[in-house]
Chain A
Amino acid sequence: MVGIMVSYSRETLEGLASSAKSATELAPKLHCLRNLRRDLQKEASVFPTELLPLLFDLLSDQFGAVRKFVAEVLGEIGLKYVELLPEIVPLLIKSHKDETPAVARQVIVCGTDLFRSTLERVAVQGLHSSELDELLESSWTWMIKFKDEICSLAFKQGNSGVKLCAMKFVEALILLYTPDPSGSLEPPSHEGIQADFNISMLRGGHPVLNIGDLSIEASQKLGLLLDQLRHPAAKSLNSSTIIVLINSLSAVAKKRPAYCGRILPVLLSLDPLSFLNGVHAAAANLALKTVFLSCLKCTHPAAAPDRLIGALKEIEGGGRTDKAEDLFYKTNGSIQDKDSVEDTKVPLEENPLCVSSLVAESTFGRKRSGSEYNIDGNGDALSGKRARIIPSVSGESTEGLNGNDVGSLPLVASTSAGPNKSRVVSDTGPVQQLVAMFGALVAQGEKAIGSLEILISSISADLLADVVMANMQNIPPDDTSYADGTDDLVMNMCIVGSDAQIKYPPSFLAGVLSLSTAFPPISALINRNIPKKENAGEELCADHVDQQMFSAEDAVLASGLPASSDTFPVNEEGNIVFPPNVHYRGNIEGGIPGMDSSAQNDVLLEASVTSVLGSTNVEAASMNQDASFSGEPLLAVIPSVSVDKSEEFSPKTTGTGCNSLVSSTATSLVSAPQFVLPKISAPVVDLSDEEKDNLQKLVFLRIVEAYKQISMSGGSQLRFSLLAQLGIEFPSELDPWKILQEHILSDYLSHEGHELTVRVLYRLYGEAEAEQDFFSSTTAASAYETFLLTVAEALRDSFPPSDKSLSKLLGDSPFLPKSVLKLLESFCCPGSCDKVEKDLQNGDRVTQGLSAVWSLILTRPGIRNDCLEIALQSAVHHLEEIRMKAIRLVANKLYSLSFITQQIEEFAKDKLFSVVGCISSERGDGETLIDDCKKKDLDMENPPKKSQSVSGVGMDTSSEARSSTSVAEAQRCLSLYFALCTKKHALFVHVFSIYKDASDPVKQAIHRQIPILVRTMGSSSELLKIIADPPSGSENLLLQVLQTLTEGPMPSSELIHTIRKLFDTRIKDVEIIFPILPFLPRDDVLRIFPHLVNLPTEKFQVALSRVLQGSSQSGPVLSPSEVLIAIHSIDPARDGIPLKQVTDACNTCFAQRQIFTQQVLAGVLNQLVQQIPLPMLFMRTVLQAIGAFPALSDFILEILSRLVSKQIWKDPKLWVGFLKCAQSTQPQSYKVLLQLPPPQLGNALTKISALRAPLTAHASQPEIRSSLPRSTLAVLGLVPDSQGTQTSQVQASETQTSQGQQQASESQQTSQSQQVSVPLSHSETDHQETSQVVATQSQSSPIGTGMSETSQSQSSPVGAGQSELSQDTQVSDSNPPATTSHTQTSDSQSSNQTHADDEKIDDTAASENETMEVEKSKESSAEEEE
């Protein structure tokens, strides 16, 4: 059945193996192998050898994972079927060089197991028989080969993961080859379990293994390992190798303490920093540290704790050495305690009371802590430090014992006996192991001499001495071996150690022991090294005061001294001890009231309170006690002295007192029994939790309340620290913080509230940051937050905003949590409007908050961003008052700080752009809003009207409300940016760029701000740069900017230049020039004047006023007359300006009579009339002048007569105007009319027939009639026209012409031919060269006639005027007729005069009339000449 099973499974296994081999993928291969392994583990019987080759084949599989797995399986097979080892191991040896590290590692791991098991088998088999079986022997041979391979790998230079494993193998090898001191010496009965295997079970006569050889090999291997860490070699190692090396070595050192002496020096001298850097050094250092720390726990003498601590100090830079020392002392101390307990086992059995006291003591050796550890009132403080002294004490005392002064130190000897013994025992831990080792080696006889030598050479001399001494224990006790006088001593020791103790109460024993340990070496005492003793005494006194103990102490003395009286001669005097003892007791009890006197109330309460607090009072008191205690044993001997001494309170005097006592005792008495100082225990009152809390609270309150006294005495700093510390220590139910807060806030100033608060905050912050436990830091952090917040809020509520306390507190706090920042924020950005209005001091609050924020930003880089955020939020607050304050801070103070400039700018820019963004999104609501905006645009100038027009639509009201709020909103967002613009003008460009897309309310907001802003900025170069290149769509804004810029004093030439340039190149809108009009040079203004005229009337008015007004410095740019002349010099066709605009401009001027006065007009007309050709609008202006100033009529007549001389009739338009003028100025104009040549007169009368009758009547007056030529009279019909045909002909032709013109104007359908013919006839009669004129006239006639009809009454036709001008020029230039030549000269003369007159006009109005008269006379004389 079994066979079948076997065969079955064998087939299966083979199948699995071959399928694993044949599979090409990794996953199925591994799957097969896993199954194979599982089956193998199940299989209990003989291994199928056929399987091996298959597995061996798989060892060279392509996949690393497969090879690794196979190696693992082979290892298991090897462990199970030893007989296969000779086959398996060679392959493993081959495989350890596998290129995949994981495979190699696996091979080493398997090999280690195989090696160990084989070694065990060999060892065990060799024990039982002298021959090994062949198979095992060959296995062993192979294993040795394997071992050598791996070892060479481990010691090879290089760094690899495989090497780590190899080194681990070496470690295992060393451990295997050396005896385990802690293991059993007995050989296992059969094949033992791994852990129990110990090479020391090998005895001599093993056929293969020799324990000495093995030790030597192990030692060599260890040497090789150590060599790697020695200096130059270690350089080439990487840190993981070093770590593993160090760890391995430490493991060896720990498990085989005998090697400590070799390993530790190497490790200690290893200084990774010298050859490694960075990470590697850190890692290596860390490993070293770990090792050293663990070695410190090792009690082997070779461990050299001092050097370890030193090395640790070096590594840690002092950080962790405290811990190391603690650790060391703790372990040693505890061992001591343990041992001392063991040591006193015998007496303990006899006296159960002793057990408790000693156990209590030993616990104290381990954990020294406060009041919690009062076990039965035997509170003793045997700290590790004092425990450490013990060896030396005992050593010294031993010397003392062997010395001469035997009798003088009986008690000392007795007390030191315990520790002395215990030390021996304590040291035997490792020493014992060595002893055992020596024993084992010695037991082997001569064979082991070599090993012994190695062992001896490897341990230090000290250690060897210890071993020898330890071994002496094994020598049976023999009294005779001790020398002479010491007999008594030994006896004495026995008595004290055992019998005598029966009589002693446990407390005494504890006291004695603790003192003996607590005190410095006896030798120090002998040397009178009192201060040391004092220190010890102080430490003692740090313990609790227990009144109850005093009686016990007395009892101790009472019973103790008689007990020793048997053995010492001193004891006879010991009888005298009693009275002083009583004295002493009283003294001590007196000490407590003394302490009370410093406090005030309840004795017990106060005592424990002070003891808890460790206040100076208590210190003093304990010093006092100290003095009395140290004196106490002396009291036992010399009462009188001690009484004196106990009255001395100063510890120093105590010291000297002791000193003198020592000397005195040394002389008067035998010697030092007085140094056995019974220990004083503290009074321990067990309080319930509630009572404790109560006490603590009272304490706390007391300190809090004592501020007056304390501050007077100058201890307030201490008090602050104390309160802060206690606050942390006390449980939260007491709520110490609240008490403190109440105290602080009850009178912040006089209670030094700030200092105390800051102290508390720092303490709490330190607690929170101290990287302690999660819970303590979290608790402290929340306490911190609450405390700061409470105080801050209270300061806010109780102090006026002008107070600086809060700001100071925030500035001094170590850290500002979010809640406090929020509080600050509530200052700077108060939330709801209602609340704000209620709080009258609100504005000041904001100032307070902002100034706090400001100082925080300056002084606290850590929370700078948070604070800045607050300030910025405040700067866009919806309330203007707050906003302006914040903006002032941000723009004036913060913006100039380079580290936050960028942030502020970004924020402001965001806000600026958000305005555009949010408005555009609002627009998305519906189109109604846009419509609304448009409407508003239209109605901008007339808001009430707008609201009426809008009110019709229901929805509009709401949207209007929205838009009005959004003006405020826009302003809210923009103000900060504008403020920044004043600081950095370049920012202003963004305002321009958003302007185009900005909605109406935003624009409004911008416009509202611009004047202030621009005025502040002035015309800086940055601003000019912006102006020079404004983004399209920002014209309105630009206009306002310019306006503002030019409002003040004289604008800079750069500005003017920029604007001019802008106007010339980019913006054709002449409005842009407006602001600088007054500052432009006259010529420039004249040049652009046509543009001005072309503006709508209102704007022209504005421009006009600017031009006339000019700037304050340079006076008016143009005088009114110049303006008028400029207007008249505009040629509509040439300048592309509609005639209507020009006439409107004229009208505008005439409308302003106070500027364009009579005199001005006269001057202007005077100038105009001299222009050749006459301005087109001249007659119109003359007419207007007559209309406006009737008083000018005389002057006008002058003009008219001059026009006659200029042959006004040649220009039809002006001729019409002339006639109109004459008509409107009749009858004065008759004179002028009569000056006309007869044909023209006839024409005039034909045109305005209404003139004929009055003119004829005028002319018929005899004196006039006589002066008139006959032809004229003929025209008037005063004489029959028989005179000459020529005249009539001319007249006829004239009539024809005028008729033709009339016809044309009336019918409005004049053909070109007719027009042409008319002038032809006209020119034929007058001039010879009119053909040219005709041509010109005919060309322009279509327009001219078209216009003429409309303008007949008021304005002169364009076309006609034009042709007139050209005609006139030609006429005058080319062919001046004889008649006109004179006129021309006189004209030019008079024009000169007029110019002069013009200047006079400005000066005096009075001279005006005279000049006019002069002119008149001159002109009339000219006519007469003609």
Chain B
Amino acid sequence: MRFRYAMVCSSNQNRSMEAHALLKRQGLDVASYGTGSHVKLPGPSVREPNVYDFGTPYKQMFDELRRKDPELYKRNGILQMLKRNLSVKLAPQRWQDNAGDGVFDVVMTFEEKVFDSVLEDLNNREQPLMKTILVMNLEVKDNHEEAAIGGRLALELCQEIEGNEAWEDTIDDIVAGFEKQHRRKLVYSISFY
């Protein structure tokens, strides 16, 4: 069974892109989104983040930050991350603004807030297709190391789901198995297109 996956975090930079890159490399049909209002990247201080609109190409951010303070952004791993991202896709996309991207089978989110946003958005949409969509949340801290771990877990989970004819009947077992194996909490919900 071939499903379509969406990886969603808040800025579509770190966690979702890590998972996106990973799943893409494994040949899964995957897209990624953010649910925040803007794309925020660390700046020189907490109060001065670099804020971009969704849709700003990663390349542009990369060039800009490299110009601003290459040392800083290399040290905190932002440049490397952006470089990875720009090899995956053009620009960060906002989940709420990309309803037209078609029907997904599985949505993975990496933060409860994001999970709620996705569900809220899905519930606010018209649901004429009556097609189920599985939304799962895996809590992943927003740093590079955790994102890498989260990406691997997401991949594993998606591959597990991919192996099933219809996840509707097996999702409980999949989730229970995953939680047992990785000792991580996984919540899911089902919505409709």
Shortest distance from the beta carbon of A1368 to any chain B beta carbon, whole Å? 95
Chain A contacts to B: CB under 8 angstroms: 101-102, 108-109, 112-113, 159-161, 164-165, 168-169, 172, 194-195, 238-240, 243-244, 247, 250-251, 278-280, 282-283, 286-287, 290, 293-294, 728-733, 767, 771-783
Q: CB distance A775 to B41 under 8 Å? A: yes
Shortest distance from the beta carbon of B40 to any chain A beta carbon, whole Å? 5
Q: CB distance A283 to B188 under 8 Å? A: yes
Besides A168-B130, A247-B123, 8 other CB < 8 A contacts? A101-B168, A101-B169, A161-B169, A239-B172, A240-B190, A243-B188, A278-B176, A771-B141
Q: CB distance B128 to A194 under 8 Å? A: yes
Complex Cα gap A775–B172 (Å): 35
Q: CB distance A279 to B175 under 8 Å? A: yes
Residues of A contacting B158 with CB < 8 Å?
none
Complex Cα gap A287–B134 (Å): 13
A–B pairs, 27, beta carbons within 8 Å: A102-B166, A160-B169, A161-B132, A164-B190, A165-B132, A239-B172, A243-B189, A247-B123, A247-B189, A251-B123, A279-B175, A279-B186, A280-B172, A282-B185, A290-B116, A730-B47, A731-B48, A771-B142, A774-B40, A774-B42, A774-B142, A775-B42, A775-B49, A776-B42, A777-B143, A779-B45, A779-B46
B155 at interface, CB cutoff 8 A = no
Nearest residue, chain B, Cβ from A172: B130
A732 partner, pick from B44, B126, B189, beta carbons under 8 A:
B44
A774 partner, pick from B14, B169, B190, beta carbons under 8 A:
B14
Q: CB distance B189 to A290 under 8 Å? A: yes
**Given A282-B185, A773-B40, A774-B143, is A729 in contact with B46 using a C-beta cutoff of 8 Å?**
yes
B13 at interface, CB cutoff 8 A = yes
Q: CB distance B168 to A728 under 8 Å? A: no
B192 at interface, CB cutoff 8 A = yes
B32 at interface, CB cutoff 8 A = no
Q: CB distance A283 to B189 under 8 Å? A: yes
Q: CB distance A165 to B187 under 8 Å? A: no
Residues of B contacting A774 with CB < 8 Å?
11, 13-14, 40-42, 142-143
Q: CB distance B130 to A165 under 8 Å? A: yes
Shortest distance from the beta carbon of A760 to any chain B beta carbon, whole Å? 14
Q: CB distance A294 to B175 under 8 Å? A: no
Q: CB distance B76 to A782 under 8 Å? A: yes
**Given A101-B169, A247-B191, A774-B42, is A169 in contact with B175 using a C-beta cutoff of 8 Å?**
no
Shortest distance from the beta carbon of B11 to any chain A beta carbon, whole Å? 7
User: A interface, by DSSP: helix, strand, loop or mixed?
Assistant: helix
Q: CB distance B166 to A101 under 8 Å? A: yes
Complex Cα gap A169–B179 (Å): 32
Nearest residue, chain A, Cβ from B41: A775
7 closest A-B pairs (Cβ-Cβ)?
A: A161-B168, A732-B45, A775-B42, A774-B142, A778-B42, A732-B44, A775-B49
A240 partner, pick from B126, B171, B185, beta carbons under 8 A:
B171
Residues of B contacting A283 with CB < 8 Å?
172, 175, 187-189
Residues of A contacting B130 with CB < 8 Å?
108-109, 112, 165, 168-169, 172
**Given A108-B130, A774-B143, A778-B143, is A294 in contact with B120 using a C-beta cutoff of 8 Å?**
yes
B119 at interface, CB cutoff 8 A = yes
B25 at interface, CB cutoff 8 A = no
Q: CB distance A767 to B128 under 8 Å? A: no
Complex Cα gap A239–B188 (Å): 10
**Given A109-B130, A239-B172, A773-B49, is A279 in contact with B179 using a C-beta cutoff of 8 Å?**
yes
Complex Cα gap A772–B113 (Å): 11
**Given A108-B130, A247-B191, A290-B189, is A767 in contact with B46 using a C-beta cutoff of 8 Å?**
yes
Kindly supply a per-residue 1/0 record for chain B positions 108-131, scoring 1 wherever the CB is within 8 Å of any chain A CB and 0 otherwise.
000000001001100100111111
B136-182 contacts to A, CB under 8 A, are 141-143, 165-166, 168-169, 171-172, 175-176, 179
Shortest distance from the beta carbon of B153 to any chain A beta carbon, whole Å? 16
Residues of B contacting A290 with CB < 8 Å?
116, 119-120, 123, 189
Residues of A contacting B141 with CB < 8 Å?
771, 777
Q: CB distance A778 to B45 under 8 Å? A: no
B57 at interface, CB cutoff 8 A = no
Complex Cα gap A767–B143 (Å): 13
Question: Interface residues of B, CB < 8 Å — how many?
Answer: 50
Residues of B contacting A729 with CB < 8 Å?
46-47
Residues of A contacting B119 with CB < 8 Å?
290
Shortest distance from the beta carbon of B167 to any chain A beta carbon, whole Å? 8
Residues of B contacting A730 with CB < 8 Å?
45, 47
Nearest residue, chain A, Cβ from B168: A161
Nearest residue, chain B, Cβ from A736: B45
**Given A102-B166, A161-B166, is A238 in contact with B42 using a C-beta cutoff of 8 Å?**
no
Residues of B contacting A101 with CB < 8 Å?
165-166, 168-169
Residues of A contacting B185 with CB < 8 Å?
282
Residues of B contacting A238 with CB < 8 Å?
172
B192 partner, pick from A168, A195, A783, beta carbons under 8 A:
A168
Q: Which of A172, A290, A731, A775 has the most CB of B within 10 A?
A: A775
Complex Cα gap A109–B127 (Å): 11
B75 at interface, CB cutoff 8 A = yes
Shortest distance from the beta carbon of A212 to any chain B beta carbon, whole Å? 27
B85 at interface, CB cutoff 8 A = no
B35 at interface, CB cutoff 8 A = no
Q: CB distance A294 to B143 under 8 Å? A: no
B93 at interface, CB cutoff 8 A = no
Residues of B contacting A779 with CB < 8 Å?
42-46, 76
Nearest residue, chain B, Cβ from A112: B130
B80-115 contacts to A, CB under 8 A, are none
Q: CB distance A247 to B190 under 8 Å? A: yes
Complex Cα gap A779–B41 (Å): 10
Nearest residue, chain B, Cβ from A116: B128
Nearest residue, chain B, Cβ from A293: B116
Residues of A contacting B13 with CB < 8 Å?
774
Nearest residue, chain B, Cβ from A782: B76
Q: CB distance A279 to B40 under 8 Å? A: no
**Given A109-B131, A160-B168, A294-B120, is A195 in contact with B126 using a C-beta cutoff of 8 Å?**
yes
Residues of B contacting A728 with CB < 8 Å?
46
Residues of B contacting A169 with CB < 8 Å?
130
Shortest distance from the beta carbon of A767 to any chain B beta carbon, whole Å? 7
Complex Cα gap A133–B96 (Å): 44
Complex Cα gap A287–B135 (Å): 11
Complex Cα gap A783–B123 (Å): 41
**Given A102-B166, A774-B142, is A282 in contact with B75 using a C-beta cutoff of 8 Å?**
no
Complex Cα gap A144–B70 (Å): 68
Complex Cα gap A732–B48 (Å): 8
Kindly supply a per-residue 1/0 record for chain B positions 11-50, scoring 1 wherever the CB is within 8 Å of any chain A CB and 0 otherwise.
1011000000000000000000000000011111111111
Residues of A contacting B129 with CB < 8 Å?
109
Residues of B contacting A251 with CB < 8 Å?
123, 127
Shortest distance from the beta carbon of A167 to any chain B beta carbon, whole Å? 10
Residues of B contacting A172 with CB < 8 Å?
130
Complex Cα gap A783–B46 (Å): 10
Complex Cα gap A194–B129 (Å): 13
Shortest distance from the beta carbon of A727 to any chain B beta carbon, whole Å? 10
Shortest distance from the beta carbon of A627 to any chain B beta carbon, whole Å? 36
Q: CB distance A778 to B76 under 8 Å? A: yes
Nearest residue, chain A, Cβ from B137: A286
Complex Cα gap A781–B132 (Å): 41
Shortest distance from the beta carbon of B79 to any chain A beta carbon, whole Å? 12
Complex Cα gap A985–B34 (Å): 62
Shortest distance from the beta carbon of B111 to any chain A beta carbon, whole Å? 8
Shortest distance from the beta carbon of A198 to any chain B beta carbon, whole Å? 15
B189 partner, pick from A112, A287, A733, A782, beta carbons under 8 A:
A287
Residues of A contacting B191 with CB < 8 Å?
247
Q: CB distance B190 to A244 under 8 Å? A: yes
Complex Cα gap A1217–B172 (Å): 111
**Given A164-B132, A240-B171, is A773 in contact with B142 using a C-beta cutoff of 8 Å?**
yes
Q: CB distance B43 to A775 under 8 Å? A: yes
Shortest distance from the beta carbon of A995 to any chain B beta carbon, whole Å? 45
Residues of B contacting A243 with CB < 8 Å?
188-190
